[in-house]
Structure 1
Amino acid sequence: MSYVPLELQYTHSHEWIRSEGDGIYTIGITDHAQSLLGDMVYVELPDIESSTDVGEECAMAESVKAASDIYAPLSGVVIAINDELDSAPELVNSDPYGDGWLFQIRVNDDNELNDLLMAEDYATIIAEDEEQ
């Protein structure tokens, strides 16, 4: 079973979201997503100061198995990216909720947080996926 930290929020497309305070959120892909993708070989991140709209493709993860789009879980402006992934994309596999984070955004509308999944709901979704 994949690890699902209780303090984070999630999307149906397997991104996680962590509040850093002051309207800033860190985003990555979940343990479940990285395990499905396999060993990461490249991660394309959004440009700093680029705008994101909820649900739009904003990054891409490429593994030995496949390339997968990463979707913006919230609308906002990208304020930081994880430069470490340029030389060590495998951090997404080894520490998806820590050193493998992808980018940070300053959100436009905190109300979008209401559309995200809580850990328990996300865990139920991936448990159903794993049974199939």
Structure 2
Amino acid sequence: MSDIPADLKYIETHQWVRVDADGTATVGITDFAQEQLGDVVFIEVPEIGATVNGGEEAGVAESVKSASDVFSPVTGEVIAVNEKLEDEPETVNEDPYGDGWMFRVKLADAGELEGLMDSVAYGEHVAAES
């Protein structure tokens, strides 16, 4: 079973979001997603200043097997991107919930988080797909 941290929220397309103490949100792909992709060789993230919309495409993760759209779980303005992934995209495989984060956003509506899955619901979703 994939690692599913309890402190995160999830969406069906296998992205996670962590809300930080300052109200910003960090986004990445789940352990399950990186396992399905295989060895990640390229990550495309949105530009700083761009607006991402919850449930809509915000980037791409490419592996030796396939390419997969990365969706944003939340709506907001991109305030940071993980520049490390440009030279070391494999970080997503090695630490998807830590150093492999993709981008950070200033939330447009914190209430949007209420509609996301918790770790238990996401675990059930993954089990249903497996």
Equivalent residue for 1:117?
117
TM superposition outliers: structure 1 runs of 4+ over 4 Å = none
Query: Per-residue CA shift, 1:32-71, capped at 9, x if unaligned?
Result: 0000000000000100010011111111000001100011
Query: Per-residue CA shift, 1:67-94, capped at 9, x if unaligned?
Result: 0001111110000000000110000001
TM-score calculated relative to the size of structure 1: 0.96
Matched, 1:99 2:99: yes
Query: Per-residue CA shift, 1:85-120, capped at 9, x if unaligned?
Result: 011000000100001000000011111101100000
Matched, 1:31 2:31: yes
1:1-132 maps to which residues of 2 (within 5 A)? 1-130=1-130
Return 17-26 or 81-90, whichever deviates more.
17-26
- Structure 1 unmatched ranges of 5 or more: none
CA distance in 2, matches of 1:66, 1:111: 34
For residue 62 of structure 1, give the secondary structure of its aligned residue in structure 2: strand
For residue 48 of structure 2, give the secondary structure of its aligned residue in structure 1: coil
Return 50-59 or 94-103, whichever deviates more.
50-59
For residue 106 of structure 2, give the secondary structure of its aligned residue in structure 1: strand
CA distance in 1, matches of 2:73, 2:7: 16
Percent of residue pairs identical: 46
Which letter maps to 2:93? N
Residue-pair matches, total: 130
TM-score calculated relative to the size of structure 2: 0.98
- Structure 2 unmatched ranges of 5 or more: none
CA distance in 2, matches of 1:94, 1:105: 23
CA distance in 2, matches of 1:20, 1:81: 15
CA distance in 2, matches of 1:81, 1:122: 25
